[in-house]
A and B are shown apart, each in its own frame.
Chain A
Amino acid sequence: MTFFKNPAELNEYRNKLQADYAPHSPYIAVCGGPGCSLMGSPDVFQAFQEEIAKNGLTRKVRVKLTGCHGFCQKGPLALIYPHKTLYVSVKTKDVREILEKTIERDEIIERLLYQDPVTKEKIVQESEVPFYKNQTQLLLGNNRLIDPKSIDDYIRIGGYSALCKALFEMEPEQIIQEIKKADLRGRGGGGFPAGVKWETCREAHGNIKYVIINADEGDPGAFMDRALLEGNPHSVLEGLIIAAYAISYGVSPAQGFIYVRHEYPLAVKYFTNTVAQARECGLLGKNILGKEGFNFDVQINQGGGAFVCGESSALMASIEGKPGEPRAKYVHTVHKGIYNQPSNLNNVETYANVPLIINNGADWYRSMGTEGSKGTKIFSLVGKINNTGLVEVPMGITLRKIVYDIGGGIRGNKKFKAVQTGGPSGGVIPESMLDLPVDYDELSKVGSMMGSGGMIVMDSDTCMVDVARYFLDFLKGESCGKCTPCREGIKQILVVLNRIIEGKAKEGDLERLVELGKAVHDASLCALGGTAANPLLTTIKYFEDEYKAHIYDKKCPAGVCRALVTYSILEENCTGCMACLKQCPQNAITGEKKKPHKIDTEKCIKCGVCYETCKFDAVVRK
């Protein structure tokens, strides 16, 4: 590895890498994201390597196991350059054929192409697949082009050019102004303007400035930050170094931290590697790239698995070695953070945006998005949707576009019911608001939030009372227990919710839930408690009828809450096939062949097996 003494050396090195690259020769990007990996992409990658070596193609074909491409639903993915042919659900047995046909003879393998479920048309190019067509992958896009373990790959595609520009063509204040002008808002959830935070931190009194990456991504089902750390870790580090320069240069020394959850071992490994490479290249350490007096290094801290440690003051306490509990932030962490020194905390995705803004300018960045939210946002689109995966969209896109155009609509042609945004402490948004533009302010206005970017789609088989219970149960387990409203309030809300779900609701329970929810929101110490009631309050706001059905009619309209559901057999539909009878674990179904069966409600445990088994719609759930 080369040690760069100045930007010219780095530029020269990049030019050399680019000259050696030969962009028109075949390159296979096998997605190594979490979804594809589980479906066997590392084996596919290995098979490619072996076949290439066996056939003496090493000089002709490059293959890389890259970071996440996003389309988890169809993994393992293999993207083949130069034509950007996308093959989906690739197995190891397909590898030889791909090399023989697509690489050697430039033929398309129909079978491996993505087929549009509606038009039945086979799509060759990745950019034409509806899932990708409506996205703007500024941050995720580069994942395909690089091996996350290689600094050379990152430098080749222009990496660290923003750092050079920031250090040698811009003053720290100028960088802050540029970030402020770009209106980059914190991607971790709060949406606080990053430039303002940096400026406050620069001006705050202290002996040292701490600059921290928050990679404690704890929302169930969310993996945006993971995809960046495991796909393009150098871009995050570059953003951090620029931030450190803007915040500290000329006023005080600086120290960097990354707080990454230990459940992301690959992210930890890659980022450790990234930091080591950057040190060797002179991108971390003393007088970075020859910039006199700019010394900066990063320490890697692993979280111990507490959701609340994603909250800034809890995260900082944890870095100090104290229990990861939040404290009151009436004096902000930019003034008194780690060891009471000014500390700037931003999320992984926020930092990844920084090099883009420095390179392309604030005006370019502002051209995307809405009045109050600029740029793009990565969402993890999961739930009852056809195309699950990571999507990066410009701010202001409607929920409808995400759910239907990118997500491909609801699985099994069921009806859309709601979408939960912002993770467990976000809110639920009903169908009537599908045309809502996705930006920080619009989402807060309807009682939800951007959060870190989780997006869980629910269909008509989802019970909203059960959804509220699920999220509150998660939060009950993750509450640190420090303050009364969060610790005791969530517990008591769950007592009432469980009562409702079990059919033992009392008059006034609904009003009581609202009262408890509001108090937990108002009186909790930190944002975890402050937002914990969101799933409860928004489900009540938008699905009050469903709550009332549970409370007053003792019915669960979605047929989810067991205690409120009864199964029976419609005589006219029952053919007497005995399928349900054989499946019933309780022997609760009686009847003879070719005669209508009956369910003994006393014996029935409401497992729903009969309902799933019956092919004649004879079993009814009410």
Chain B
Amino acid sequence: MEEKDKILNITIDGKKTAVKYGTTILTAAKRLGIEIPTLCYHPALEPYGVCRVCIVEIKRGKRTRVVTSCNYPIQDDGLEIFTESERIKRDRKIVLELLLARCWSSPEIRDFAAKWGVVDTDLQKTENEECILCGLCVNVCRDIIGQSAIGFESRGVDRKTATPFGKPTDACIACGACVYVCPTGCIKMEDLPKERRIDRWQSDVPILICKNCGKGFGTVKQLEILKTKNPLTKLYLEKCPKCREKELAEVMVRKGGF
């Protein structure tokens, strides 16, 4: 039998289960109804494993170690996993405190930390920082949208997300995927009458006007990209979703169904 077809028997917090080789701990735990906190995990993206709040303790033979559940592929039969061991509780509390100290001004992070038992910290707090550097915006822009408009800049405590050289970039189509995945809501997007603005990336992109109703929807650059990747006609793409629906409904009424 190929390795990837193997079924492995494991336990999570004492509950026995069987999983396919390579299943992540997070997925296996979810199936058992065991909740593990996550921040930089998004089901649409490859796990990045950097926020470290999803840490769990694993035991193989006599050896125990701390791993991140979002990207640890289960490869051994008999693996024991503990999501709430003393060591994990202590380490996770510190990780949450570190995030809380960094993003004290983010209500989302304060709520998240509170949910997992950390309401305050005596660590040095940073003012006006809401980004936890989870990388979801960077990864969604590269892996899902295919634009790579943003990336990381500097290293260590100076690390931040930015456009190349911190300047406005043509690569940003203001699709808003980064805004959608951001767990702290620190990327703000605003639709003005004529353009869509994402301040964080200094992006101002003209809004696409519906050929039918004249209302704004999406951005002109989004359309340009979609046209190259999509078999749908330009005529169809240039109408807003509402008008598309309406048109479809009219056709159906005329024809009396599909």
Contact yes or no, A492 B101, CB < 8 A? yes
Q: Given A481-B157, A523-B92, 15 other A-B contacts at CB below 8 A? A: A327-B49, A328-B49, A330-B67, A479-B155, A479-B156, A479-B157, A480-B156, A481-B154, A488-B101, A492-B124, A518-B90, A519-B95, A523-B55, A524-B52, A525-B50
Instruction: Contact check, B155 vs A306: say whether CB atoms are below 8 A apart.
Output: yes
Task: Tell me if A522 and B91 are in contact (CB < 8 A).
Answer: yes
Chain A residues at the B interface, C-beta cutoff of 8 Å: 306, 323, 327-328, 330-331, 476-485, 487-489, 491-492, 495, 512, 515-516, 518-519, 522-525
Encoded as 1 (CB less than 8 Å from any A CB) or 0, chain B from 79 to 95 comes to 00000000100111011
Could you say which of B94, B154, B155, B157 contacts A515, with CB atoms under 8 Å apart? B94
Check if B156 sits within 8 Å of A487, measured CB to CB: yes
User: A487: which of B49, B91, B133, B151 is its contact (CB, 8 Å)?
Assistant: B133
B102 at the interface (CB under 8 A from A): yes
Q: Tell me, rounded to whole Å, the shortest Cβ–Cβ distance linking B143 to chain A.
A: 14
Contact residue among B55, B66, B154, B157 (Cβ-Cβ distance under 8 Å from A491):
B157
Q: Scoring B residues 123 to 164 as 1 if CB is less than 8 Å from chain A, else 0, what string do you get? A: 110000000110100000000000000011011111100000
Q: A484-B99, A522-B55, A525-B49 are in contact. Are A478 and B156 (CB under 8 A)?
A: yes
Q: Judge if B23 is at the interface, Cβ distance under 8 Å.
A: no
Q: Is the CB of A518 within 8 A of B101?
A: no
Is B78 in contact with chain A by the CB < 8 A criterion?
no
A323 adjacent to B156 (CB under 8 Å): no
The answer to whether A482 touches B98, judged by C-beta atoms less than 8 angstroms apart, is: no
Please measure, in the bound complex, the distance between the C-alpha atom of A476 and the C-alpha atom of B158, giving whole angstroms: 10
Interfacial chain B residues near A512, Cβ < 8 Å: 122
B129–chain A nearest beta-carbon distance, Å:
11
Cα–Cα, bound, A306→B101 (Å) = 27
Given A323-B152, A487-B159, A481–B133 Cβ distance below 8 Å? yes
Tell me, in angstroms, the Cα distance from A587 to B155 when the chains sit together.
Answer: 43
Report the Cα distance A515→B66, complex, angstroms: 15
CB-CB < 8 A to A488: which residues of B?
98-99, 101-102, 157
User: Scoring B residues 92 to 125 as 1 if CB is less than 8 Å from chain A, else 0, what string do you get?
Assistant: 1011001101100000000000000000001110
B72 at the interface (CB under 8 A from A): yes
- The answer to whether B95 touches A495, judged by C-beta atoms less than 8 angstroms apart, is no
Q: Is B68 an interface residue when CB atoms closer than 8 A count as contact? A: yes
Bound CA–CA A512/B158 (angstroms): 24
Kindly list chain B residues whose C-beta atoms are within 8 Å of the C-beta of A524. Answer: 52
Q: Which residues of A contact B52 (CB under 8 A)?
A: 483-485, 523-525
Contacts A489-B94, A492-B124; is A484 near B132 (CB within 8 Å)?
yes
Which B residue sits closest to A529, measured CB to CB? B52
For this complex, 28 residue pairs linking A to B, each with C-beta atoms less than 8 Å apart, are: A328-B49, A328-B68, A328-B72, A330-B73, A479-B156, A479-B157, A480-B156, A480-B159, A481-B157, A482-B133, A483-B51, A484-B53, A484-B95, A485-B52, A485-B98, A487-B156, A487-B157, A488-B101, A488-B157, A492-B98, A492-B101, A515-B94, A519-B90, A519-B91, A519-B94, A522-B55, A522-B87, A523-B95
* Shortest 7 CB-CB contacts between residues of A and residues of B: A481-B159, A519-B94, A488-B98, A479-B156, A522-B66, A519-B91, A481-B156
A323, A331, A480, A492 interface centre (most CB from chain B within 10 Å):
A492
Across the interface, do B123 and A495 meet the contact criterion of CB distance under 8 Å?
Answer: yes
Contact A484/B124 with A323-B152, A328-B68, A522-B91 known, Cβ cut-off 8 Å:
no
Q: Give the residues in chain A near B55, CB-CB below 8 Å.
A: 522-523
CB distance from B172 to the nearest CB of A (A): 20
Question: Which of chain A's residues has its CB closest to B70's CB?
Answer: A328
Q: How far is the CB of A215 from chain B (nearest CB, A)?
A: 21
Complex: A522 Cα to B55 Cα, angstroms = 9
Bound Cα distance from A35 to B170, whole angstroms: 51
**Chain A residues whose C-beta falls within 8 Å of the C-beta of B132 in the assembled complex:** 484
| A508–chain B nearest beta-carbon distance, Å | 9
Contacts of A525 in B (CB 8 A): 49-50, 52, 68
Select from chain A the residue with minimum beta-carbon distance to B124.
Answer: A495
Q: In the complex the two chains form, is B91's CB within 8 Å of A482's CB? A: no
Residue B71 lies at the interface, judged by CB distance under 8 Å to chain A: yes
| Least Cβ–Cβ distance between B27 and chain A, in angstroms | 14
User: Which of B73, B90, B152, B157 is in CB contact (< 8 Å) with A476?
Assistant: B157
Nearest CB in chain A to that of B57: its residue: A522
Chain A residues with CB under 8 Å of B94's CB are 485, 489, 515-516, 519, 523
Name the CB-closest residue of B to A479. B156
The minimal Cβ–Cβ distance linking A497 to chain B, given in whole angstroms, is 12
Q: How far is the CA of A491 from the CA of B129 in the complex (A)?
A: 15
Q: Mark B38-79, 1 if CB is under 8 A from A, else 0.
A: 000000000001111101000000000011100111000000
Q: Which residue on A lies nearest to B67, using beta carbons?
A: A330
The CA-CA distance from A516 to B94 in the complex, in Å, is: 7
B72 touches A330 (CB 8 A): yes
Q: How far apart are A405's CB and chain B's nearest CB, in angstroms?
A: 38
A432 to B99, CA, bound (A): 39
Bound Cα distance A485, B55 (Å): 11
Partner pick for B50 among A477, A482, A516, CB 8 A cutoff: A482
Residues of chain B lying within 8 A (CB to CB) of residue A330: 67, 71-73
Report Cα–Cα, A488/B71, bound state, in Å. Answer: 21
Chain B residue with Cβ nearest A519: B94
Complex: A522 Cα to B64 Cα, angstroms: 11
Question: How far apart sit A479 and B51, CA to CA, in the bound complex (Å)?
Answer: 15
CA distance A480 to B156 in the complex (A): 5
Chain A residues near B152 (CB-CB < 8 A): 323, 481
Taking a contact as CB atoms closer than 8 A, the residue among A306, A323, A515 that contacts B90 in the complex is: A515
In the docked arrangement, what's the CA distance between A481 and B102, Å? 13
Q: Using CB atoms, name the residue of chain A closest to B157.
A: A491
Neighbour of B98 across the interface among A306, A327, A328, A484, CB < 8 A = A484
Q: How far is the CB of A518 from chain B (nearest CB, A)?
A: 7
* CB neighbours of B67 from chain A (8 A): 330
